[in-house]
Amino acid sequence: MSERKLIPVEIRQFITGHKIWTVLILVVVAGGLIAWHYLGKPKDGGGYLTQKVAYGDISETVNASGTIEPVQQVTLTFKNQGYVQNSYVQVGDRVDKGKLLAEERDSDFQAQLAQAEGNLQNARADYDKLVATQPEKIAQAKAQLAQAQSSLNLAKATLDRDQSLFEAGAITRADLDSAQNSYQSALSQEQSSASNLSLVSNSGDIAAAAAQVETAQAQVALAQNNLTSARIIAPFDGYVAQINGNVGQWTQGGAPPVGTAVSSQYGIILSSTALQLSAEINEADISKVKTGQRVTFTVDTYPGKTFNGKITSLAPMATSVNNVQMYEAIISIDDYSQLKAGLPASVNIVTAFAMHVPVVPQTALDFARTYLAAPRQQNARTNGQPGGSGQSFRPNGQAGGSGQNTRWSGQPGGSAFQNKSLVLVLENGKAVPRPVETGLSDDVNVEIKSGLQPGETIITGQAGTGGTGRTGMPAGGAPGPAAGARGNNNQNGAGPRPGGGVMFLTRPGR
């Protein structure tokens, strides 16, 4: 039977009537096959995701949660109990320092002040009188003393004369006794005058009067303070956050009640316009945090916007939050004009940073670790199994002997050294491991202190696997066909994936 007869009549009619469409379909299919052959399969020396080593800035941070709060917040009350007469603000009002917020009825306080001022006037009058009459009193006392001394001298002379006359028998005993009595009287008068002069000259009375004046002045100051305290004045610029009580009520005086105590006290809670950030630092991170460190934070109110600040103080003692020790950090905010108190914030504290240093993606180190671990694990699966050659790849891409692996420092089984790791450098199309010394890491990029130069090409992942080096893995955990693998030397390996899980890698063919 001829070939023409093997083709059904309907198909021959379709092809004959649709020659142009048939040709187009064949061209599209052929183009797809060519594109898959050249673009979908790894090229020799390729099959990798690569990146150039470049300079960049990097920082390490400590994460915390915090709350925006006012720098100052006070509860303002009246000093003394009284009747609330006026209130001049409402919740939410912005006030300037010195603004009158509320006042009590002050008639009683004015009366107390008037009484205190009257007492002060009396005390000052008494003092002034003492001071004014003091010189005159002293002069009078001195004159009295001089007269008493003169009388005493005369009495003494008379007594001495009469004593001589009595001894001569010229006068009687009675005359002598009279002279002695006159002398004793003059002596007493002189002593009294001297005492009076001393008393008048003493400034004790004036000092006592001065003390009375000071006491009266203190009473006036107290009354003035009570009158002034009948008004609530804003001590700083801020917002009225809360008002407790109403106009027309009788209020208690003094400090606000503590805790949840019920009180009839009138009060206004004033929050400063200046804001700060209070953050809770976990005990595991507190050793890295210092005052003066820069801080960035975000709030849900402004998605995508970052705010900046600086740590100004750290609490010396921890508080327990859900059985975790937390330390409070107070952070000054560079620009708080768009923020409001009470907003929760996600905080990043910059504990270390470096500028213009060689950096590589963290994925480059992760890929190198799993890439070099794959031959050993593949060898463990294939040794002793039918069809398994036990052959593994050396890190330079050459097939090794049966069951042999090459170990590198810093990898499992090798000698560990601090801050050392490995990256894969692309040299002549081959993945060549390179030991590097790492520095800071922000979980995205890693600082390279030595081992790489800017401009070198490093491998960050496997082409065709989303950059992670993962191939298909059917249910049950068995490795599936290697995506994009070609050649007979391809091996599927499983290595530990950072953060958990298993990563299956595909080795590009030679």
Per-residue pLDDT at 136 = 77
d(CA 327, CA 305): 26
Place of tokens 């490093």: 458
State the pTM of this model: 0.55
Which residues sit opposite 59 in a β-bridge? 353
Task: Please answer whether residues 464 and 369 qualify as being in contact, where contact means their C-beta atoms are separated by less than 8 angstroms.
Answer: no
Better pLDDT: 394 or 288? 288
CB-based burial label for 41 (10 Å; 0-12, 13-18, 19+): middle
Round the CA-based radius of gyration of the chain to a whole number and report it: 52
Per-residue pLDDT at 20 = 64
Q: pLDDT-based confidence at 345, cuts 50/70/90? A: very high
Task: Please answer whether residues 356 and 363 qualify as being in contact, where contact means their C-beta atoms are separated by less than 8 angstroms.
Answer: no
Termini Cα distance of the chain: 48
Per-residue pLDDT at 473 = 31
Per-residue pLDDT at 261 = 54
Better pLDDT: 61 or 382? 61
Q: pLDDT-based confidence at 479, cuts 50/70/90? A: very low
pLDDT over 90 (residue 195): no
Task: Please answer whether residues 409 and 451 qualify as being in contact, where contact means their C-beta atoms are separated by less than 8 angstroms.
Answer: no
Q: pLDDT-based confidence at 5, cuts 50/70/90? A: very low
Per-residue pLDDT at 273 = 92
d(CA 470, CA 463): 10
User: According to DSSP H, which parts of 169-235 are helical?
Assistant: 173-201, 204-228
281-304 tens-digit pLDDT: 999 999 999 999 999 999 999 999
d(CA 505, CA 374): 7
Better pLDDT: 403 or 429? 429
Helix (H, G, I), strand (E, B), or coil: what is residue 107?
A: helix
Helix (H, G, I), strand (E, B), or coil: what is residue 414?
A: coil
Convert 430-492 into a string of H (helix), E (strand) and C (coil): EEEEEEEEEEEECCCEEEEEECCCCCCEEEEEECCCCCCCCCCCCCCCCCCCCCCCCCCCCCE
Better pLDDT: 41 or 55? 55
Convert 342-411 into a string of H (helix), E (strand) and C (coil): CCEEEEEEEEEEEEEEEEEEHHHHHHHHHHHHHHHHHHHHHCCCCCCCCEEECCCCCEEEECCCCCCCCC
d(CA 395, CA 210): 101
* Integer angstrom CA distances of residue 268 from 33, 235, 250: 80, 12, 15
Average pLDDT over all residues of the chain: 78
d(CA 150, CA 190): 9
Rounded mean pLDDT, 67-93: 94
Q: pLDDT-based confidence at 365, cuts 50/70/90? A: very high
Task: Please answer whether residues 130 and 205 qualify as being in contact, where contact means their C-beta atoms are separated by less than 8 angstroms.
Answer: yes
Q: pLDDT-based confidence at 372, cuts 50/70/90? A: confident
Task: Please answer whether residues 99 and 234 qualify as being in contact, where contact means their C-beta atoms are separated by less than 8 angstroms.
Answer: yes
d(CA 255, CA 78): 8
Task: Please answer whether residues 392 and 491 qualify as being in contact, where contact means their C-beta atoms are separated by less than 8 angstroms.
Answer: yes
pLDDT over 90 (residue 93): yes
Ramachandran angles phi, psi of 73, nearest 5°: -150, 125
Following DSSP, what letter does each residue of 112-127 receive, concatenated?
Answer: HHHHHHHHHHHHHHHH
Better pLDDT: 108 or 259? 108
Rounded mean pLDDT, 434-442: 91
111-134 tens-digit pLDDT: 999 999 999 999 999 888 888 877
